[in-house]
Amino acid sequence: MSPSSLPAHFLSLPKAELHLHLEGSIEPATVCALAARHGQPLAEQEARRRYSYANFMEFIEAFKWVTSYLRDPEDYALITRELGKRLLAQNVVYAELTLSVGIMFLRQQQPEANFEAMCRASEELRKQGLRLQWIFDAVRQFGAEAAMQVARIAPHYRNEGVVAFGIGGDELSLPTADFRAVYDYVAEQGLHRLIHAGETGGPQLVREAVELLGAERIGHGLGAMHDPALLEMLAERRIPLELCPTSNICTGALARQLTRGSARIAEHPLPNFLRQGLAVVLSTDDPAMFHTSLLAEYAHTAAMGLTEAERDRLAALSFEHAFLPAPEKRALAAARPGAHS
């Protein structure tokens, strides 16, 4: 389904997005521009070739390749501005951007300088009608010590819009319990706690994320479909699942959960989750790398069988579960369409 299939009222509706990796928003042409800035000319055809994956680990390798061209603060400011323009074009008025601070540390960069440049870019976007907040993200396979390094820096930027700490990467690489001390520290610092779980892994990893780490939202959470008791717990506690259907098709995550060689968007569990009373939010994950947009994700919900009323409700849930005070959520959800134009 194309975004053009969405009704006019939905196109102009204020929207929020909560699971969006800044680095995964880099378009192939921008990768080439970044490469040229650093004296490494790159053909756009080669960049586009890299944006294709047969499985989750191939995607991880492509993500590492893309981020290898992010080397200084201006690079990060550029990709923030470019993503902001695309969000504004979709009437997105609020987004929580996940930032791979763990990769910055791995590459011996200065996360402070990079983030300050992004903050300056986000101030320009706010004047146009887009509010950004930030999630500092660690990489699971790098281990608990590296995750703590990210956790320690995050609280210093609460006044600049850092609202949460999260962990992404390969959820099968290390036990959840390894990160308990990291999440205890984050909780003590007053930050929200997120983690990718149940993307390629099973329901036990989702349960551990909640019970061991105190996760307040779950990135993906597909594996929960296999455990009715877990679904009941998630619904009762109103712990949202951040669902990214196109991502789950492109990485093979949904096919893996269905124990098949392939899967179709219509088979995504989003409608079942929604109708069972779970809190779910719709997102793009890495929009450029999965050739999608937030409007395209909403258009796909028709193929999943959602009604227009259910789709409108889904859009409202992203405001409801944003890390914002209630009055600010209501104000953003009621923002005048086109205020940024």
Q: Is 199 a catalytic residue?
A: yes
Which of 199, 208, 216, 242 is flagged as catalytic? 199
User: CA quadruple 213, 178, 244, 303: dihedral positive or negative?
Assistant: negative
The order of strands in the sheet holding 280-282 is 15-21, 92-99, 131-139, 162-168, 192-197, 217-220, 241-243, 280-282
Q: Is residue 34 within 8 Å of 69, Cβ to Cβ? A: yes
Q: Is residue 300 within 8 Å of 257, Cβ to Cβ? A: no
Closest CA to 197 of 270, 188, 214, 45: 214
Supply angle C-alpha 14, 306, 335, rounded to 5.
10
Burial of 123 (0-12, 13-18, 19+ CB in 10 A): exposed
- Which are the catalytic amino acids? 199
